[in-house]
Structure 1
Amino acid sequence: MGIIDKLNKDFESRVRLGIMSILMVNDWIDFTEMKSLLNITDGNLASHSSAMEKAEYIEVKKEFIGKKPRTSYRVTNRGRAAFMEHLNNLEKLMKSNN
């Protein structure tokens, strides 16, 4: 099995890479801020975050602030470990091509 086979397919999308990169350096981040940082649509963020929640890479918290709903995200320990492994394998892949 080559290094490229060790890359995590769950992080192949630029949106998912963006979500994970943002969550690795923030505790909780809300839907509106995440959507703005990534410059994507509501539906795009909702579908990617749902898939990542299902894989247990992120935690999704839904709450009401006053009467307004708020959705926030944070990376799970499993997500942090999987993303770090993915980044390490990317680095190995880049170094193997020198």
Structure 2
Amino acid sequence: MAGLDPLLQHPTRLTVVAFLGGCVEAEFSAVRDYCQVSDSVLSKAASALEEAGYIVVKKGYVGKRPRTWLAVTGTGRRALADHLAVLQRLAAAAEAAGREAEEQADGHAAGS
């Protein structure tokens, strides 16, 4: 697991950064609904991501109603890309090891 971003190993935080990577910014409720989590779970994830510099949280109003928007930063985009690249390398290595193990098992069976 070397090279994986510990912050992005949490499914909600990974999903938040991935979702935000597809837009300029998103309203808190849209992110919450996409991630299928409660307000408190998203709030905790957003706080951790903001503290790391992966997202920015902007508060404002629409009319008289308070709103919160989230946006991924350049640092967050790079962290996501790096994390996904490590996952892809891990998956490719595991697949290659599986094929090798299968070939060895087939070779042992043929030699028996």
What's the TM-score once normalised by structure 1's chain length?
0.94
* Sequence identity percentage: 32
1:87 aligns with 2:98: no
Q: Which whole-Å CA distance do the structure 2 matches of 1:21 and 1:80 have between them?
A: 8
What's the TM-score once normalised by structure 2's chain length?
0.82
- How far does the alpha carbon of each residue in 1:31-68 deviate from its partner, in whole angstroms, 9 at most, with x for none? 11111111110000000000100000001110011110
Structure whose alpha-carbon radius of gyration is higher: 2
| Structure with greater proportional helix content | 2
Contiguous gaps of at least 5 residues in structure 1: none
1:5 maps to which residue? 2
Contiguous gaps of at least 5 residues in structure 2: 97-112
Q: Where do 4+ consecutive residues of structure 1 move more than 4 Å? A: none
Count of residue pairs brought into register by the alignment: 95
| DSSP 3-state at the match of 2:59 | strand
Higher relative contact order (CA 8 A, sep 6+): 1
1:46 aligns with 2:43: yes
